[in-house]
Amino acid sequence: MAPHAEGATGFESSVGTTVHNTTDSKPELFTVQSPNVQYTDSDITSKYTYRTTEVNVTDGKYVASPKETLYDFKTERKVGKVGLMLVGLGGNNGTTVTAGILANRQGLSWDTREGPRAANYYGSVVMSSTVKLGTDAKTGREVNVPLHDMLPMVHPNDLAIGGWDISGMDLASAMDRAKVLEPTLKGLVKKQMATIKPLPSIYYPDFIAANQEDRADNVVPGSKASLEHVEHLRKDIRDFKSANGLDKVIVLWTANTERYADIIPGVNDTAENLMHSIEIGHEEVSPSTVFAVACIKENAPFINGSPQNTFVPGCIELAEQHKAFIGGDDFKSGQTKMKSALVDFMINAGIKLTSIASYNHLGNNDGKNLSSQKQFRSKEISKSNVVDDMVAANTTLYKEGEHPDHTVVIKYMPAVGDNKRALDEYYAEIFLGGHQTISLFNVCEDSLLAAPLIIDLVVVAEMMTRISWRAHGAGEWKGFHSVLSVLSYMLKAPLTPPGTPVVNALAKQRSALVNVLRACVGLEPENDMTLEHKLF
């Protein structure tokens, strides 16, 4: 590995200024033998039949009609060199994901009280899960392949990492402050982490809790939105890209939860109004929205890993105008992932949930910030909406307007640190007026669950920049919509294109991701009917 020039990024020597040269295309693990799929040195092109069912409703009766649409997909095989810039680089998640990539890149192992441990990417759906490819032609057994090998994707070991933080603490010191990693692992990466110092970030005190003020020693001058801030962040991205010889940069917000911004006509409801509001320093433009605007202008995909409403209507419209990718909101790591899986199971099993009570206590800086009511309200909204689509889908259990009682409580308890405690009670009606109560106690090592999600979001977002599609035979190739709803599996409150439904059911979200990958190589979704084993 050869270090690049210093200075422009604000780093000395670091993972952020070093890139593996291993990101050129590698041979695919499998190829598809079909007249509908073509491989060239540069692209994989597929012809794909998208099958859906169209329903017409008349006088309460349904008429279902199968519908087929033919599409072409094209995926660039060359990944290139990719950089990840984190907003909140010096926080628990930022230090954990940086140390984790360093450990994996170097193949580190270390001692713990429970014995030796080695670097891995457990918890990453992209790096540590598999996908059914099909059935073995000779034995009839399922053939499963790593999800990462479905299409050419960047390997997280090859990411250049940098970013911003309102705290100027170097990452070795910030890693100690976070109290997430084993001391022996910290010792192995400390020297490299100590060389990484975050770039100054923008800081608008009204948007995060007052108890964060003592961290804010590394800020860009100015306490309200401005075009100067947008341009400052754009230059940071360009400098990082240039200093590291990158083909593209993905930016991800893993900083403090902000309060919700009010949606005000004439302020943030259109792209034009939003840009004017930034120009005049309107108080309802948040730091995360300013970051999003800077990334949109630089055509760097921006992902929001916190629950605030970063993507106000004007921001979404701006992304659409620039054909830039955005995605969010809020990492779906522990309690909410369990909830979206369990509620999906129960409602699909015909069990009527009538109340869900979720209690959390945590002691990391996220918990400290969320002890402020305005910031907690952002988290409460993202956690409370995750069952809505599942409830709405079952009109047998729930009549119009009916919904389970759903309460979310978060308390800051410093003693538990990053080991968040999540307690959930699910109360449901069952057969003949009976009841079922399910209680869960989930101890989530918060940042060790969130860090792999950061990797997933970045790897998938980068991949989407190389996929284009069109109606079969049409002249112009197009990218996906600016709002990357394909990221929903990793997010609590998935952002979707305006006017489209939100899907929170975990199984549907994963199927959507996998089936996009399959379409790109001309494969039908696996239907799991296994008729080949049932018909003789």
Q: What is the set of active-site residues?
A: 330, 379, 420, 492
> Distance between CA 270 and CA 218 in Å, rounded?
32
- The reply to whether omega before 111 is within 30° of 0 (cis) is no
Residues contacting residue 191 through CB under 8 Å, at least 6 positions apart = 172
37-41 long-range contacts (CB < 8 A, ≥24 apart) are 37/521, 37/522, 41/77
- Number of Cβ within 10 Å of residue 157's Cβ equals 18
How many angstroms separate the Cα of 475 from the Cα of each of 171, 321, 471, 472?
A: 49, 21, 9, 9
199 backbone dihedrals φ, ψ, rounded to 5°: -70, 150
- C-alpha triplet 231, 235, 236: angle, nearest 5°: 120
Residues contacting residue 370 through CB under 8 Å, at least 6 positions apart = 209, 257, 376, 379, 410, 412
> Distance between CA 135 and CA 141 in Å, rounded?
5
CA 278 to chain centroid, in Å, comes to 26
Residues facing residue 369 across a β-bridge: none
> Distance between CA 321 and CA 316 in Å, rounded?
9
> Distance between CA 499 and CA 290 in Å, rounded?
24
Dig out the tokens for 306 from the structure. Answer: 């916190």
- Number of Cβ within 10 Å of residue 22's Cβ equals 11
Three-class SS string for 498-531?
Answer: CCCCCCCCHHHHHHHHHHHHHHHCCCCCCCCCCH
DSSP state of 417: T
**CB–CB of 149/44 below 8 Å?**
no
> Distance between CA 369 and CA 211 in Å, rounded?
7
**CB–CB of 127/156 below 8 Å?**
yes
Dig out the tokens for 199 from the structure. Answer: 């770039």
Three-class SS string for 323-388?
Answer: CCCEEECCECCCHHHHHHHHHHHHHHCCCEEEEEEEEEEECCHHHHHHCCHHHHHHHHHHHHHHHH
